[in-house]
Each structure stands twice: as C-alpha cells, then as structure tokens.
Structure 1
Amino acid sequence: MTTFTITLILLLIAATYATAHYIDTKFSMQVINWMNGESHSPFKPSNVDQKMSTNSRSKEDIHALKERIQVLEKIVTEPAYELNKKLNQL
C-alpha cells in the first residue's frame, strides 16, 4: 500500500464519522451507536427529548431551592430574628 492509499482510507473513515455525527445531532438519530453495535436501528430517534425534560426539571428545582435559600437568609439576617433567638435562650 502506498502512502496515498493509506491517507485516502483514513480520510474516508474520518469523513464517514463526521457525517454520522452530523446526522446524529441534526436529526436526533443513532447512527454512531449503530456503527458501534449499541443500537439495532439507526433510524429510531434518540432520547434527547427525555434528557432535555429532565435537565429543565432539574433547573427548575435548583431555581426553587435558590429562592428558598434567599428567603431563609432574609429571615436569619433580620434583627427581629436575633432578638427572638436571644429571648428564647433566656
């Protein structure tokens, strides 16, 4: 095999992988998983929507927890809270 043939084969492999990656991201398919033997059909859409809904749910939970922390910080830093704490210690 000549250097040109080896280079051409490597370029074809890289182009195939790049094309499969583009198809996966653009159309939510599983071409790379199919090429690796992890999926039976490359035409079934992947579970990207499920991941996105889980991710958005997690973001909502984090946002709600941050709001609760802010409220608790306001309560604790309030002068009346400190007074009640001192009165309760007596």
Structure 2
Amino acid sequence: MDDQNISKISFDNQNPSTTPKTAKVSLDNLPDLLTVREVAELLRVSPLTIKRWGKRGKLPAIRINSRGDRRYKKEAVLWLLGMQSNK
C-alpha cells in the first residue's frame, strides 16, 4: 500500500442502501482535525467504535463547541494507522 494514498469509503447520504464506493484520498490533503465519521471511514470502523476508543484513551478527542462535537488530530489517526512515529 502506498503510504500517501489509502482507500476511503464514501457514502451516498441521499440513498443509504447504496453500496459504498471506494476512492483514493491523499493523506497530505487531510485537515489537521478530523470528524468522527472521517476517522471511522479512514480506519474502516463504525463511528461508535471511534467514540468508544476516545472514552478509553486510545484516540483522544478534542471537543470544539457547546454541543461537544468531537475532532481528532490527524497525527493521532496516522499513528493508529502505523504511518507516523510516536513523537
């Protein structure tokens, strides 16, 4: 697998029964803070798994607003993928 490109699953929000489509995404173009859904798609797990990992300390979340929306640092996600050394 190329370290700069990984498979990403994108879902059609209009029709949930649509089969997921795969596309290439460049890790260089990822934002510094990722949403729960973005992280879940990159790691190929459910959003609930990402939230559970946050509660257990495996993937710390940053709360960004009064609603408590979660964001995850790109570096932490890359570390979980094994693509970045632990600094």
- Calculate the TM-score normalised by the size of structure 2: 0.22
- Calculate the TM-score normalised by the size of structure 1: 0.21
- Higher-helix-fraction structure: 1
- Higher-strand-fraction structure: 2
Q: Which has the larger radius of gyration?
A: 1
